[in-house]
Structure 1
């Protein structure tokens, strides 16, 4: 089934091109294993992403000057592969003025957080305007002369994954300019549950701009509607928004992304673990960057060697020029055999902190607070709170959010 591809061709290609960087003390699973195969009933209905529904949205683009917010995931699927939505629209005589590119760039080959410069796309000759360089929000000058902005990027449903922040800033800029926005919806591989700490207003940043839980259980189109109708855009503005829905997908559906959404989320396992292991980004612990098992392991040289039987050594590779603990033997855990998760767990962070030889160097407090959305979580871990105790403090906010979320669910 085309839309339940599990990255095999992509991962194999990058595995052959890029040198592996781990020194494991035991054999681990390959990175391209799916969680499970779809049931017969699911397999009979092919998931159709909104980009494929050209009959629905092309009439709304004809005769308009548009910009497209896109990256390597913005594709139209075909029986023999896929075509980038920008290439498809140009072939259909849609007047694309330029492309806005998010974090990781238009081709998805920049490191996390890396500055992306404006450039020109070699294939199409279109100007590529970075929204992760000089500015993260389109300027009014960059929107001049446009009739519409089209947004089509695959998300993974985690608050600190920055594509939703880019979308919100695009919506804000367009609301200020009076330009409509169209969002082509795609499945959320973590769309089957809601969990994690809720962002507090005092700690909002590009890693979390609205009061939502860490895993919010919505597609990017559903979330766009929520941002707009809850008046979360700056100044309480609303943008003229159209969401083109996908077909044959439900929130409980399993969806394996055919294209890795960013350099360090190479497969299903990394995506299901990302909400929990992504919290290590606010610490000095390595979460697999600099290996071929990104977000499928964690470790550090300053963890107690006696507590673990798994080691690896991070080295620079695609998507991680300067990984944490580069060149150091890291003691930790291999999670590459993890099945599909339906919760955020603090067990991994608690385990690493408990076994940290020097706890004073564990947290990067500012970064951890931005990822957590509050300054309470670090204090809870430092005080010895367990996973269940910590999660209990999230529940009231999660329940409140779910009531709001219910209004915007399309699937």
Structure 2
């Protein structure tokens, strides 16, 4: 295993987290602990993979580091771009940051991985981007590709860790690698219960990086944090995860990316409402998706009234209490849907619109069709999920 912690050893991390659980300390992200990593950056040419969530207090990390005299020579952007204003699934082009003049290389477009040429003028890479704890949230894929590139180029990677707002949640099918895709690359459950630094350790430790390479990583852990702590993100992690309610519901409602139900894209409350024009007469709640540049330019059922569920005031405490994603909403809307065949056949050829790729389990769709009880569905996940939970313990930084 090739990693180290700046200023903190594993036992001390555990002690600090326990203190936080009692409400006696305040969470500090890796980026917020400038004193831990600034000495290591001095005199080096720095590259950064980050986005709009890469902040120190209320200041962007790039601005903070430049003010401190750090030489940032290049920035890399994941899905949604470095500024976080591109829609989901939309390719992003390389550009030059207007504010700083720093070149920005997109890793969600023509390439998904930095080339050796991209890294040639860099001494040290930094990764700092907020994750939300789901396999299909693609920042972890960008992290993996970056780790591969750093390993192949002999570069070290500094990870400034951040809390996982869904860190309490370890649930869903573990990815069947036959369904490996851009929204699921590694054999982890839908909700993996890791921070990005913990996941990086897992990538190294399990040999999941391409060619079995190992990346030299250093980690600034989150101070005073544990996975059961509620955490409100200070900046929206992507255009459509624009509220804390959406972030907490995302592991459950993102299942609707793979069926013929609009999950709020084309509204200002995505992932918190679910509906379809075909459910008229079944539900009284309605909404109308429209084109919203930067969020959803051509949403499903654009300009059509959709009927369904309003989850904007759903008690998130119920999810925290059970520690499970909610699959009852899929079951309910499937039962209510008049044309059962079209419910799952929507955009079947596309990864983004196929629930098999979303769940990572080819059985789930048929289980819903056959009205298999939830406890039986969950039992089918259990063998792989139990193995994952045991493996996960090896890579935890936080209790």
Q: Same fold (TM over 0.5)?
A: yes
2:330 is aligned to: 349
> CA offset at residue 41 of structure 1?
7.3
1:97-147 residue CA offsets vs partner (Å, 9 max, x unmatched): 110001111111110001111111111110111111101111222111211
Q: Which runs of 5 or more residues in structure 1 are unaligned?
A: 1-39
- Between the aligned partners of 2:204 and 2:179, the Cα distance in structure 1 is 21
Match of 1:26 in 2: none
Q: In the alignment, which residue of structure 2 is the partner of 1:402?
A: 389
Q: Is 1:132 the counterpart of 2:119 in the alignment?
A: no
Instruction: Point out the more displaced range, 126-135 or 390-399.
Output: 390-399
Q: Give the aligned partner of residue 113 of structure 1.
A: 89
1:249 aligns to what SS in structure 2?
coil
| Aligned partners of 1:350 and 1:386 also within 8 Å | no
Equivalent-residue separation in structure 2 for 1:182 and 1:321 (angstroms) = 36
> What is the match of residue 43 of structure 2?
63
Q: What is the Cα deviation at residue 228 of structure 1?
A: 1.0
User: Of the candidates 176, 188, 208, which is equivalent to residue 212 of structure 1?
Assistant: 188
Counterpart of 1:383?
A: 370
| Aligned-residue offset at 1:43 | 5.2
Stretches of structure 2 lacking an aligned partner (at least 5 in a row): 1-19
* 1:339, distance to aligned residue in structure 2 (A): 2.2
**Kept after mapping to 1: 8 A contact 2:21/2:225:** no
Q: Are 1:309 and 2:249 matched, yes or no?
A: no
Which of 21, 29, 34 is matched with 1:54 structurally?
34
Counterpart of 1:6 in structure 2 is none
Q: Which residue of 1 aligns with 2:380?
A: 393
Q: Distance in 2 between matches of 1:148 and 1:376?
A: 43
Instruction: State the match for 2:258 in structure 1.
Output: 282
Written as runs of structure 1 = structure 2, the 5 A alignment for 1:12-411 is: 44-77=24-57, 82-303=58-279, 305-317=280-292, 318-340=294-316, 341=319, 342-363=323-344, 364-365=347-348, 366=351, 367-411=354-398
Deviation above 4 Å: which 4+ runs of structure 1? 40-44
- Equivalenced residue count is 368
Give TM-score scaled by structure 1 length. Answer: 0.87
> Residue 117 of structure 2 aligns to a residue in which SS?
coil
| C-alpha distance in 1 between matches for 2:117 and 2:333 | 47
Contact 1:70 1:101 (C-alpha < 8 Å) held by counterparts:
yes
SS in 1 for 2:269: coil
Q: How far apart in 1 are the matches of 2:343 and 2:33?
A: 48
Quote the Cα distance in structure 2 between the aligned partners of 1:386 and 1:242: 45
SS at 1:377's partner residue?
helix
In 1, the alpha carbon distance for the partners of 2:340 and 2:22 equals 47
Q: How far apart, CA to CA, are the structure 2 residues paired with 1:327 and 1:385? A: 35
Structure 1 residue 360, shift from structure 2 partner: 2.2
